[in-house]
């Protein structure tokens, strides 16, 4: 990932204040405004629920949801049991991976207000999607705490710090301590950093690997008493961990097929560059695997994306979802997990 792409990932909401602020109007944003939130009736129908409470109500948003199905749970690390499907954080921070359709970022920001984010997490919890995977974008730490403390949310937090990683590790260690102190359940090395420290970027450009810093990052999380993972877009990062005995508890690694029309466009549209090689390599990896980008940021259907991930070895799947998608995706996930090709897959279930 080049410098401009990294900066865009850190600040993914064009022309807006942090999530807890108000979007700034520009000439590019004054037309076709999306409504701030969907109507309550539409949310209820889509979620298959009744009585969802708005975020400014003293009761927990979604407290009265009665889901028809829940996703099964498994242990990611000792004492940390989570759903086989995890809620992805990109849509909550409005980073949509929408190729060159820049208006979609603003659309997501208009829809996923703080109140809508609280509803989304409550609906996810009710369906057994009880963990959110997210990075420390602006405002995230504040609204996670507000949801948990102010509304009784039980969502578990698996967070990757975006703090700088350096030889002295001061900033990264401080970030780990802060995350531990506010109640984070696990910390993992951000995939952008995992690639870089393994000596490769998203485009495959090579640099000098720094497995010593990768080790320090994992140990920084363990030193504050939390399970630690490593994220990666490139297989080289997982190989670097395995070859250097990096003490990660689990991996967060992309996996999706190349079976979608825009796969070769090479513009914010591909994250699993060697899926077949990844599948073969991960067969012998004895640590839990959270697969992410399984739907190639919306280019692959949930059924096809989840089937590909679970059939080929993932123990968990990350899924970026809007509130109205959760109930249906829960049903889809359960159908996929019951498929013979998933139940009889080559890689054993590690979690």
User: Coil, strand, or helix at residue 289?
Assistant: strand
Q: Which two tokens stand for residue 269?
A: 């549209």
Question: Please, are residues 240 and 211 in contact by the beta-carbon 8 Å criterion?
Answer: yes
Provide the pLDDT for residue 342. 98
Is residue 204 predicted with pLDDT exceeding 60? yes
Q: pTM value?
A: 0.84
Provide the pLDDT for residue 46. 39
Question: Please, are residues 239 and 201 in contact by the beta-carbon 8 Å criterion?
Answer: no
Q: Which of 30-39, 72-81, 235-244 has the lowest mean pLDDT?
A: 30-39
Spans of all domains in the chain: 3-343
Please name which of 83, 62, 61 lies closest in space to residue 72, comparing C-alpha atoms: 83
Kindly state the average pLDDT of the residues 245-264.
96
User: Coil, strand, or helix at residue 343?
Assistant: helix
Is residue 125 predicted with pLDDT exceeding 50? yes
Provide the pLDDT for residue 66. 85
CATH number for the segment(s) 3-343: 3.20.20.70
**In Å, what is the CA distance from 61 to each residue of 44, 52, 197, 243, 258?**
12, 6, 40, 45, 38
Long-range contacts of 147-153 (CB under 8 A, 24+ apart): 147/117, 147/118, 147/121, 148/183, 151/55, 151/59, 151/60, 151/61, 151/118, 151/122, 152/60, 153/60, 153/118, 153/121, 153/122, 153/125
Q: Using CA atoms, how far apart are residues 64 and 51, in angstroms rounded to an integer?
A: 6
Kindly state the average pLDDT of the residues 278-303.
97
Is residue 179 predicted with pLDDT exceeding 90? yes
Name, in order, each residue with C-beta under 8 angstroms of 187's C-beta and a sequence gap of 6 or more: 158, 159, 160, 161, 176, 179, 180, 220, 221, 224, 226, 227, 228, 229
Q: Using CA atoms, how far apart are residues 255 and 335, in angstroms rounded to an integer?
A: 20
Residues shown for the chain: 351
Kindly state the average pLDDT of the residues 236-259.
98
**Percent of the chain predicted with pLDDT > 70:** 83
**Percent of the chain predicted with pLDDT > 90:** 78
Kindly state the average pLDDT of the residues 319-334.
97
Q: Which two tokens stand for residue 165?
A: 């990683």
Provide the pLDDT for residue 63. 65
Kindly state the average pLDDT of the residues 184-204.
96
Kindly state the average pLDDT of the residues 176-180.
98
pLDDT in tens, 62-113: 667 889 999 999 999 999 999 999 999 999 999 899 999 999 999 999 999 9
Q: Which of 61-70, 130-139, 289-298, 336-345 has the lowest mean pLDDT?
A: 61-70
Is residue 13 predicted with pLDDT exceeding 90? no
pLDDT greater at residue 38 or residue 214: 214
Is residue 60 predicted with pLDDT exceeding 50? yes
What does the mean pLDDT of the chain come to?
86
Burial (Cβ within 10 Å: 0-12, 13-18, ≥19) of residue 298:
middle
Q: For the chain, how many helices (H) and strands (E)?
A: 14, 10
Name, in order, each residue with C-beta under 8 angstroms of 24's C-beta and a sequence gap of 6 or more: 15, 16, 17
**In Å, what is the CA distance from 330 to each residue of 81, 336, 341?**
17, 10, 19
Please name which of 183, 122, 186 lies closest in space to residue 158, comparing C-alpha atoms: 186
Is residue 9 predicted with pLDDT exceeding 60? no
Provide the pLDDT for residue 20. 35
Name, in order, each residue with C-beta under 8 angstroms of 159's C-beta and a sequence gap of 6 or more: 133, 134, 135, 136, 179, 184, 186, 187, 188
Is residue 330 predicted with pLDDT exceeding 90? yes
Kindly state the average pLDDT of the residues 331-351.
98
Where do runs of H (alpha helix) occur along the chain?
A: 3-10, 40-47, 103-111, 114-126, 140-145, 151, 170-181, 191-197, 211-223, 235-243, 275-282, 302-311, 326-337, 340-343
Is residue 200 predicted with pLDDT exceeding 50? yes
Residue 24 per-residue DSSP state:
P
């Amino acid at each position: 990932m080049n410098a401009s792409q990294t900066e865009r990932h850190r600040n993914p909401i064009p022309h807006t204040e942090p999530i807890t602020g108000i979007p700034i109007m520009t000439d590019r944003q004054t037309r076709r405004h999306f409504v701030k939130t969907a109507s309550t009736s539409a949310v209820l129908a889509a979620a298959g629920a009744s009585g969802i409470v708005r975020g400014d109500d003293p009761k927990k948003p979604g407290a009265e949801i009665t889901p028809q199905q829940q996703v099964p749970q498994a242990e990611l690390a000792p004492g940390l049991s989570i759903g086989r499907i995890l809620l992805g954080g990109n849509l909550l921070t409005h980073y949509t991976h929408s190729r060159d359709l820049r208006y979609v970022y603003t659309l997501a920001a208009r829809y996923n207000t703080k109140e809508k984010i609280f509803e989304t997490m409550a609906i996810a919890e009710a369906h057994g999607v009880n963990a959110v995977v997210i990075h420390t974008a602006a405002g995230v730490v504040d609204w996670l705490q507000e949801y948990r403390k102010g509304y009784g949310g039980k969502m578990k937090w698996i967070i990757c710090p975006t703090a700088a990683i350096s030889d002295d590790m001061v900033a990264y260690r401080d970030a780990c301590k802060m995350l531990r102190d506010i109640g984070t359940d696990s910390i993992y090395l951000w995939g952008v950093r995992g690639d870089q420290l393994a000596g490769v970027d998203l485009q495959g450009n090579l640099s000098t690997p720094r497995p010593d810093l990768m080790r320090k990052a994992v140990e920084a999380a363990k030193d504050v008493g939390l399970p630690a993972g490593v994220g990666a877009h490139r297989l080289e990062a997982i190989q670097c961990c395995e070859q250097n005995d990096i003490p990660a508890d689990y991996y967060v690694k992309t996996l999706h097929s190349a079976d979608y029309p825009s796969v070769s466009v090479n513009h914010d549209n591909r994250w699993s560059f060697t899926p077949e090689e990844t599948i073969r390599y991960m067969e012998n990896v004895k640590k839990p695997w959270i697969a992410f980008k399984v739907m190639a940021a919306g280019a692959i259907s949930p059924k096809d994306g989840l089937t590909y991930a679970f059939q080929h070895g993932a123990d968990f799947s990350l899924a970026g979802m809007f509130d109205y998608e959760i109930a249906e995706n829960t049903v889809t996930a359960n159908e996929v997990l019951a498929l013979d090709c998933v139940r009889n897959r080559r890689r054993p279930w590690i979690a």
